[in-house]
Amino acid sequence: MSSEIRLENLSIKTRDGTVLVRDVSFAFGSGNPICLIGETGSGKSLVMHAVMGSLPDELICEGAILLDGENLLALSAAARRALWGRKFSLLPQEPSRSLDPTMTIRSQVAEIYPALHRASWNDAKTRAMKDLQSVGLDHAARSFPFELSGGMAQRASIAMAHAAGSMVLLADEPTKGLDRALCDVVAGMINHEVSLGRAVMVITHDLELAMQTTGMIGVMRNGVLVELGKADSVLHAPVDAYTKSLVAALPSQWEASSQNTHEPGKPVIAARSLGKSFGERALFKELDLTLRSGEITVALGPSGCGKSTLGNILLGLIKADFGTVERPGNLPAFKYQKIYQDPPAAFIPHQTLGDAFGDLRKRHGIDGASINRIFDDLGLEPGLLARRPDAISGGELQRFAIARALLLKPAMLFADEATSRLDPVSQKRVIDLLVAQVRERNLALMLVTHDHVLANKIADHVIDLSSLSSNGEQRTAA
């Protein structure tokens, strides 16, 4: 298996002539992977979908995308689709939306082998179990997608992409929502695919993953490739000013935020002796937790340990098996807000973002100046309001979700991996804004993250759910 993909002056435009990607040129192939990094909305995923042949019909590609010398842009849409699965595999940014809700995870991986490799069904099931075991999901083989955490859904999609075995593997944010240990597993899997001779292209905000793939790194901003080079040189000796700002915005470079030094705030949510299991698997038991105004509580733990489940119990979205949750103050339900790990889940697909925020203004009397101010704080262009949720990047949509939640001036905000799909610069901007809201408005913030460094920089309290069968423990951050 040997192949090369070469992009020559690739530009992507809308039909009205708006340039989204301008004159991008690079190559990747067998033994020579590439990672594209950059801010959300910079055009990284557009480039990947151009390579895959899955861009929306309203976008136009110019230039050339050569697969072993053949210009893919000269092929019809049907001819491009015929390559999917056989020559091209795509690991999508929203894995939960690519899984069949009516099939178990093992069946979805297994069906690839008869379809693409002419394997028997018994052989396919055996190979599927090996694929799931390699990503730590063998225990969830009989689970349906709705029973998986965001990180578990991501790993299931990785197993499916591996099963396809195509010559070109395109991975869009493959470590999004995963703890560091599983990120390292994914990096190992990507390197394994490279060692098998596959041409691998990765879109990521995870600079550690970019370093681990040991290939080329391309840095994109505003649709332009601003820097290209070997991973080690780009990340340790960047030339472009924007690349330098990306590296400087990593949580390890942050100053610790000032913790709440005042008297403890009023309880906003108080949970006592909570317990929750799925089947025979206990997520947590006898867990006590109090969220107070003006304080940041961070929930840590590996993918699938129950962090999102805990937050959903506190919000009343699901029920605990044991224990009680109290919300003092008799506040209306909208004062308890959630930022979803999967932002499309928070928006109506066919409604423009402008209509969504218009509904917010009418229902809650929010003035336009407040909306514009928070858009500016989050680096959001008002022009994006004319688009539907599927017409902007995942990171941009996440920031719109954050803006909408904060405009309601909540008493408690549950942020479920709120920055997992953001580049380091956007992540720091969002975290700075959330911390400011906590300190200035006495917001109670519960943040789910896999990033221990980030947690230690901002948390007043940390609850560690890493031991699935042990009692949860809330501690004051060091």
Reduce the DSSP state of residue 448 to 3 states and report it: strand
Reduce the DSSP state of residue 110 to 3 states and report it: helix
Q: Looking up tokens 């110019």, which residue turns up?
A: 62
The predicted pLDDT at position 10 comes to 98
DSSP character for 84? Answer: B
The predicted pLDDT at position 141 comes to 94
The predicted pLDDT at position 467 comes to 59
Distance, CA of 131 to CA of 109 (rounded, Å): 8
Which residues, in sequence order, are bridge partners of residue 285?
A: 471
Contact 432, 270 (CB under 8 A): no
Give me 413's structure tokens.
């905000």
Which residues, in sequence order, are bridge partners of residue 476?
A: 461
Closest CA to 96 of 5, 190, 41, 176: 176
The predicted pLDDT at position 252 comes to 79
The predicted pLDDT at position 261 comes to 57
DSSP assignment string, 177-196? T--HHHHHHHHHHHHHHHHT
Backbone angles phi, psi at 419, to 5 degrees: -115, 15
Contact 384, 403 (CB under 8 A): no
Q: Looking up tokens 């699935």, which residue turns up?
A: 468
Contact 9, 25 (CB under 8 A): yes
CA 263 to chain centroid: 36
Give me 87's structure tokens.
């020559």
Q: Which CATH architecture has domain 267-476?
A: 3-Layer(aba) Sandwich (3.40)
Distance, CA of 14 to CA of 54 (rounded, Å): 15
Closest CA to 370 of 331, 413, 409: 409
Encode the chain (478 residues) as per-residue pLDDT tens digits: 568 999 999 999 999 999 999 999 999 999 899 999 998 889 999 999 999 999 988 899 999 999 998 999 999 999 999 999 889 998 887 777 789 999 999 999 999 999 989 999 999 999 999 999 988 899 999 999 988 877 788 789 888 988 988 899 999 988 876 777 778 888 888 898 899 899 999 999 888 899 898 899 999 999 999 999 999 999 999 999 999 998 888 887 787 765 555 567 899 999 999 999 887 788 888 999 999 999 999 998 887 788 989 999 999 999 999 999 999 888 999 999 999 877 888 899 999 999 999 999 999 999 889 999 999 988 899 999 999 998 888 778 888 999 999 999 999 999 998 887 788 888 888 888 889 889 888 999 999 988 888 888 899 999 988 754 444 445 444 3
Torsion on CA atoms 49, 83, 182, 93, rounded to nearest 10: 30
Spell out a b/e string for 405-437, using b for 16 or more CB atoms within 10 Å of the CB, else e: bbbbebbbbbbbbbbbbbbbbbbbbbbebbbeb
The predicted pLDDT at position 477 comes to 45
Closest CA to 433 of 421, 447, 452: 447
Burial of 396 (0-12, 13-18, 19+ CB in 10 A): buried
The predicted pLDDT at position 25 comes to 98
Q: Where are the domains of the chain?
A: 4-249, 267-476
The predicted pLDDT at position 448 comes to 92
- Is 267-476 the same fold as 4-249? yes
Asked whether the whole model's pTM tops 0.85, one would answer no
Is 4-249 assigned to CATH 3.30.930.10? no
DSSP character for 471? Answer: B
How many helices (H) and strands (E) in the chain?
A: 17, 19
